[in-house]
Amino acid sequence: MSLFEATGLTVGVSGSPYPILRDVDFSVEPGEILALVGESGSGKTMAALAVMGLLPHGVTKTAGEVRIDGRNLARPDGSIDRQVGQISMIFQQPVGALNPTMRVGNQVARAIQINQELDRSAALEAAIEMIGYVGIPGPERVAKSYPHQLSGGMCQRIMIAMAVSCRPRLLIADEPTTALDVTVQAQIFELIKSLVAEIGCGVVFITHDLGAVVEMADRVAVMYGGQVMEELHADRLLDGSKHPYTRYLLESIVREVDHRVEDIGVDFTLRGCRFSHRCLLAHSRCNDFPTLEWIAHDHRLSCFAHPLDRS
Ligand SMILES: Nc1ncnc2c1ncn2[C@@H]1O[C@H](COP(=O)(O)OP(=O)(O)OP(=O)(O)O)[C@@H](O)[C@H]1O
Ligand SMILES: [Mg+2]
């Protein structure tokens, strides 16, 4: 049993017969960082929001389960019990995710009060400690600041402080550094890695950046068109990945092109493999839906184009 398991997540938009997530499975062990990668529109954020029970209006989970320690977090009304599961999420735009009219210390204090019964001053004291814990110098002074007075990197650290203040079992980081410059990115990566080692939580780390995957992640799940195409050890990504889409992503880097620029969009109406219209190896079998199957003890693949890997 894994610390965290999402199984069969299927998510649709009202009025459309074509799901934007289809049968998505992934799992995370304690202290493990799982990267979710894939080009824009592949469904990374939707997968995270489905796990959090925070799907936008008009988008609903039609199938699938989310479990922590084997316990199903879905409530009868379809929402997710995050508090029981202790799942926290940090978002791409730290400045926008904070309340602009409230001092950051009070925001962290509120997050702490959700999970611990502390009065205002004790919660503020705990918040200042938390702000120092995520590597912000002068936490007493910073706690009195408003978000617009802080840099993007500082705001992201504040978001991380809020996210880890409840000692989550699972932390979801959705492109946590894309709004930040490169040196700050490296610092945030280090912070996330050290927190994982210390708290022992699992992490779902969403990114476009395959370099960050190799640096940060233990395992990687590659998504396209709302499906998980392949899942394997991050250090096997470069030379061990098999899926034509994964190879395409990696070759995009070698060719020094941004794969987002080449994105011709996902054809959600395809009944079979959603990469088949772009895949050089596609054949008639690819008109069927390929499920994610084990091809080695630590490698799963969703592809009919690899005759050696599928009998
Ligand atoms: N509010 C919404 N209503 C309906 N469809 C949506 C909504 N938000 C996103 N989608 C669709 O869901 C699909 C998956 O989007 P998602 O945001 O999960 O992609 P992503 O992999 O996170 O992309 P990016 O890398 O750009 O963040 C896309 O086709 C997108 O157009
Ligand atoms: Mg996204």
Tokens in use for 206?
């969403």
CB atoms within 10 A of CB 59: 16
| Any atom of ligand 1 within 6 Å of the Cβ of 265 | no
Tokens in use for 180?
């930040």
Q: What is the mean pLDDT of residues 165-178?
A: 90
What is the domain partition of the chain in residue ranges?
4-86+167-301, 95-166
| Any atom of ligand 1 within 6 Å of the Cβ of 244 | no
Distances (CA, A) of 211 to 120, 152, 174, 208, 249: 42, 22, 16, 9, 12
| 114-136 residue pLDDT tens | 888 899 999 999 999 999 999 99
- What's the CA-to-centroid distance between 85 and ligand 2, angstroms? 23
pTM tops 0.95, yes or no: no
Whole-angstrom distance, CA of residue 57 vs CA of residue 44:
17
φ, ψ of residue 196 to 5 degrees: the values are -60, -45
pLDDT for the residue 259: 47
Whole-angstrom distance, CA of residue 194 vs CA of residue 220:
19
Return mean pLDDT, the chain: 88
- Test site for ligand 1: of 44, 174, 210, 268, most ligand atoms within 8 A of the Cβ: 44
- What's the CA-to-centroid distance between 307 and ligand 1, angstroms? 32
Task: Give the ligand 1 atom nearest the CA of 175.
Answer: 27
| Any atom of ligand 1 within 6 Å of the Cβ of 38 | yes
pLDDT for the residue 94: 72
Paired with 24 in beta bridges are 9
Whole-angstrom distance, CA of residue 288 vs CA of residue 221:
21
- We find that the CATH architecture of domain 4-86+167-301 is 3-Layer(aba) Sandwich (3.40)
Give the confidence band of 95 by pLDDT, cuts at 50, 70, 90.
confident
Which of 104, 103, 97, 59 is CA-nearest to residue 78?
59
